[in-house]
Amino acid sequence: MASNKRIVLIGAGNVATHLGIGLQAAGYEVKQVYSRTEVSASELANRLSVGYVTSLEEVCTDADVYIVAVKDAVLTELIPMVVKGREDALFVHTAGSMPMEVWKEHAVHHGVLYPMQTFSKAREVDFASVSFFVEANGTAELAVLKEMAEALSPKVYEASSKQRMYLHMAAVFACNFTNHMYALSAYLLEKNGLPFDAMLPLIEETARKVHGLAPREAQTGPAVRRDENVMGKHASMLADEPRLQELYRMISQSIQEK
Residues 6 or more apart whose CB falls under 8 angstroms from that of 114 comprise 94, 95, 96, 132, 133, 134, 135, 159, 164, 167, 168
Site string for a second copy, 100-129 (x = CB under 8 A): ----------------xxxxx-xx-x---x
Name which of 62 and 72 has its Cβ closer to a second copy: 72
Name which of 81 and 224 has its Cβ closer to a second copy: 224
- Alpha-carbon span 155 to 207, nearest angstrom: 20
Helix axis angle, 139-152 to 14-25, nearest 10°: 80
Provide the minimum distance between the beta carbon of 152 and a second copy in the complex, in angstroms, as a whole number. 13
Q: Are 67 and 85 in contact (CB under 8 A)?
A: no
Provide the minimum distance between the beta carbon of 155 and a second copy in the complex, in angstroms, as a whole number. 7
166 near a second copy, judged by CB under 8 A = yes
DSSP string covering 94-151: --TTS-GGGGTTT-SEEEEEEEES---TTS---GGG-EEEEEESSHHHHHHHHHHHHH
245 near a second copy, judged by CB under 8 A = no
DSSP string covering 64-92: SEEEE---HHHHHHHHHHHHTT-TTSEEE
257 near a second copy, judged by CB under 8 A = yes
Site string for a second copy, 198-237 (x = CB under 8 A): xxxxxxxxxx-xxxxxxxxxxxxxxxxx-xxxx--xx--x
Provide the minimum distance between the beta carbon of 66 and a second copy in the complex, in angstroms, as a whole number. 21
Name which of 39 and 213 has its Cβ closer to a second copy: 213
Q: Are 195 and 189 in contact (CB under 8 A)?
A: yes
Q: Could you give the dihedral angle defined by the CA atoms of residues 58, 63, 65 and 68, in that order, rounded to the nearest 10 degrees?
A: -10
258 near a second copy, judged by CB under 8 A = yes
Interacting positions 62-81 with a second copy (CB under 8 A): 71-73
Among the candidate windows 34-42, 47-55, 78-86, 191-199, which touches a second copy by CB under 8 A? 191-199
Name which of 77 and 88 has its Cβ closer to a second copy: 77
36 near a second copy, judged by CB under 8 A = no
Site string for a second copy, 13-32 (x = CB under 8 A): -x------------------
